[in-house]
Structure 1
């Protein structure tokens, strides 16, 4: 008789776990609270470690076809002076793959197709769970329930599973808010064939620009701001123009090329790293376990790494509790380091003081690109 996995959340981590467990012979059901899996979100970068995870899931080819390689990765000042460039070609040769940028909805669709949408249950908001020595039961807000051998909480930064496991666990505001947009745009300095783009860093704000695939540009703006200051639809394009007026060309032009309805706005949060994130037959993965700030571009990759490691442990033993514990012990050191490093990096890239930013910029300009690449090896050189 097949063992059964209950996965809460049909995002990147949940679908990755479902794919991997299904390939190992498990019966998997995925439960998602939304009414439909809409094509929402923005761009997501997949560095070499993420691409290696996607190879394990059997979909790396589809990502390369629908996304766009990061052939250029520049960091500039707000007015366009180069601070450093990552040696993307040399890094691709070292790790066997370029980084890729793809629309989050496209990545989710690829994973959904790999898993088989028939295993997805929509409009299922989990309210609680309980377990004993032989099974775990998830109870949903509509009164229905399902039993399984393991319950995997992949329900994101606002995870209900996490809230049931860990009390008094608060979100931590990053100190900055984000605008994200997608548009069609061309610039002869950042050609489609090469892919990639740049980030420009100012005082308490920065702007990123990169090819997304399918002839589109993804951009983001990170702006220091008090928590909860909403920028409503209809005012987001204007706000972006105000914050980045006079910045490095093509920033103003790409904002102007973006439709108002294509601009998203979110405050940015993480949570304090945990010393443990599971109990018995229940465990967490991805943002439910270790939500982090987006400065390293590793949220999606870490969720896929989690999913593969967890599925491998679960499939190599009949002791579910032991498998969950081993998975947690293997993953917690890397993910904790990533959460802390992402927050440390946020302090550096969102500096407001002009003197401090000037010192930062001079220090970065003095570091050879190969040294910068070497400092990222622990992040992107990992193979799950």
Structure 2
């Protein structure tokens, strides 16, 4: 495709999915712009898990070494108790052998900074709150709160669980009686959590930081609705999450009856101060210590929504990441699936014919959903399996029994279900993959054949 024939992509949301798509479109020399409602991206959040299935894209884009510089490998999820002992471990140690790359824990601010370095600044637009999005047969248009507008050929909603783009798209589909009833229901959640990350610590205060592997740990507080997780990072910080199971399903509409004001995080901090923490040494560390070691403005209280939407696209508008599937963080699959979405969307955009029509675009977005929806549903179910570890129901006991007694063959089968699908970027060279278990089929790699045949046809004309 010539430069003038390539579609212009408008991406709303500068989270990991939107930024990953920006990196890939830049590599493909496809014009794009990213619009983010926040004026600045705050270093909020805890740590993220990246498994072997995301290493492929990092290697293809030439950023894997930079990724390794901020990442700490991990090999097991440890499940402990308030007596400061480990009850059992869920083994991930064969990940590199089976799939060609290790699993890593990365502080959320660090991975966001890495992605931002590889998106040209002239394509980033901060402080751009969308008030209206619309599409026609010819293109898409955004209107922002500051009165400015943007026009393009394709609109990508990568703006999170409460996506403005999804909500406006669904409102239009509902008016046209084309929205599935389930997609019109409120986004549900049954747990909330307090998240933060300490400043860099001296390993004498938290000895686990000196270990080569990240210590990924969940501690169950029996007889209460609380469980909390810790992740040691390469920056010598401890990323932490204190979760509360609500015992009922809620939605954002219910929040008017809850405490969500500025003091909500502080109240939850006080409630969890005495929770025992396993630090890897003799010093008796508590959640209160981790809270005191964390800058107050970087501690937040959030909801953990869970839902897979069925409507991912319409015409020139497409959704990715949390905007179309919000997965429990228990399985560590949220960021991974956002990146997989970005790869698949980028591949099909690359395959589009010159000056694509609305029908061309919708046809390829249907292929995107066809590939990704089954994988997302698998990840959703897998995350629910890990969520049962702290479910406060009889399933917690069942999960503990299964993980404690899992034979090697079953562990490998579990890992394969999570990481055999390792999507590649169609327009970049294949990376080396030394994994014993080869990547599962990836339909969007058809983009290579489609573009090659189109180019051959043009050269023969």
What TM-score does the superposition give when structure 1 sets the normalisation length? Answer: 0.89
Q: Which one of the candidate residues 148, 153, 158 is aligned to 2:162?
A: 158
**Cα distance in 1, alignment partners of residues 350 and 160 from structure 2:** 24
Q: Select between 223-232 and 57-66 the one with higher mean Cα deviation.
A: 223-232
Task: For residue 202 of structure 1, report the CA deviation from its aligned partner.
Answer: 3.5
After TM superposition, list the pairs within 5 Å mapping 1:173-252 onto structure 2.
Answer: 173-183=189-199, 184=201, 186=203, 187-188=206-207, 191-203=210-222, 204-225=225-246, 228-230=258-260, 232-242=264-274, 244-245=275-276, 248=278, 252=285
Indicate yes or no: 2:352 matched with 1:352: no
Distance 1:274 1:73, change over 3 A: closer
**Cα distance in 1, alignment partners of residues 84 and 339 from structure 2:** 35
Checking the alignment, whether the CA contact within 8 Å between 1:6 and 1:152 is kept in structure 2 is: yes
Checking the alignment, whether the CA contact within 8 Å between 2:331 and 2:384 is kept in structure 1 is: no
Q: Select between 156-165 and 265-274 the one with higher mean Cα deviation.
A: 265-274
Deviations 1:22-56 (A, max 9, x none): 21121111111111223332211111112223323
Q: Which one of the candidate residues 24, 31, 47 is aligned to 1:27?
A: 31
Residue of structure 1 equivalent to 2:54: 50
Task: For residue 77 of structure 1, report the CA deviation from its aligned partner.
Answer: 3.8
After TM superposition, list the pairs within 5 Å mapping 1:249-268 onto structure 2.
Answer: 252-253=285-286, 255-257=288-290, 258-259=293-294, 261=296, 264-268=299-303
Q: Which one of the candidate residues 64, 69, 72 is aligned to 2:73?
A: 69
Task: For residue 162 of structure 1, report the CA deviation from its aligned partner.
Answer: 0.5
Residue of structure 2 equivalent to 1:133: 137
Checking the alignment, whether the CA contact within 8 Å between 1:178 and 1:220 is kept in structure 2 is: yes
Residue of structure 1 equivalent to 2:361: 320
Residue of structure 1 equivalent to 2:400: 361
Indicate yes or no: 2:342 matched with 1:307: yes
**Cα distance in 1, alignment partners of residues 267 and 298 from structure 2:** 10
Distance 1:63 1:249, change over 3 A: closer
Q: Select between 250-259 and 199-208 the one with higher mean Cα deviation.
A: 250-259
Checking the alignment, whether the CA contact within 8 Å between 1:192 and 1:215 is kept in structure 2 is: no
Checking the alignment, whether the CA contact within 8 Å between 1:177 and 1:267 is kept in structure 2 is: yes
Deviations 1:139-158 (A, max 9, x none): 22222221111100000111
SS at structure 2 position matched to 1:143: coil
**Cα distance in 2, alignment partners of residues 94 and 300 from structure 1:** 21
**Cα distance in 2, alignment partners of residues 234 and 267 from structure 1:** 13
Indicate yes or no: 2:307 matched with 1:272: yes
**Cα distance in 1, alignment partners of residues 135 and 37 from structure 2:** 21
Question: Alignment RMSD, CA only?
Answer: 2.6
Indicate yes or no: 2:420 matched with 1:381: yes
**Cα distance in 1, alignment partners of residues 218 and 374 from structure 2:** 29
Task: For residue 369 of structure 1, report the CA deviation from its aligned partner.
Answer: 5.5
Deviations 1:262-288 (A, max 9, x none): 662323232532222110010000001
Residue of structure 1 equivalent to 2:320: 285
Task: For residue 233 of structure 1, report the CA deviation from its aligned partner.
Answer: 5.0
After TM superposition, list the pairs within 5 Å mapping 1:113-128 onto structure 2.
Answer: 113-128=117-132
**Cα distance in 2, alignment partners of residues 358 and 25 from structure 1:** 52
Deviations 1:117-148 (A, max 9, x none): 22101111112222222211122222222111
Count of residue correspondences: 380
Checking the alignment, whether the CA contact within 8 Å between 1:9 and 1:32 is kept in structure 2 is: yes
Task: For residue 180 of structure 1, report the CA deviation from its aligned partner.
Answer: 3.3
Task: For residue 9 of structure 1, report the CA deviation from its aligned partner.
Answer: 0.7
**Cα distance in 2, alignment partners of residues 277 and 330 from structure 1:** 12
Residue of structure 2 equivalent to 1:110: 114
**Cα distance in 2, alignment partners of residues 299 and 358 from structure 1:** 25
Task: For residue 102 of structure 1, report the CA deviation from its aligned partner.
Answer: 1.2
Which structure 2 segments of 5+ residues have no match?
A: 172-183, 251-257, 354-359, 424-461
Which structure 1 segments of 5+ residues have no match?
A: none
Task: For residue 364 of structure 1, report the CA deviation from its aligned partner.
Answer: 3.0
**Cα distance in 2, alignment partners of residues 30 and 375 from structure 1:** 37
Task: For residue 254 of structure 1, report the CA deviation from its aligned partner.
Answer: 5.9
Q: Select between 33-42 and 69-78 the one with higher mean Cα deviation.
A: 69-78
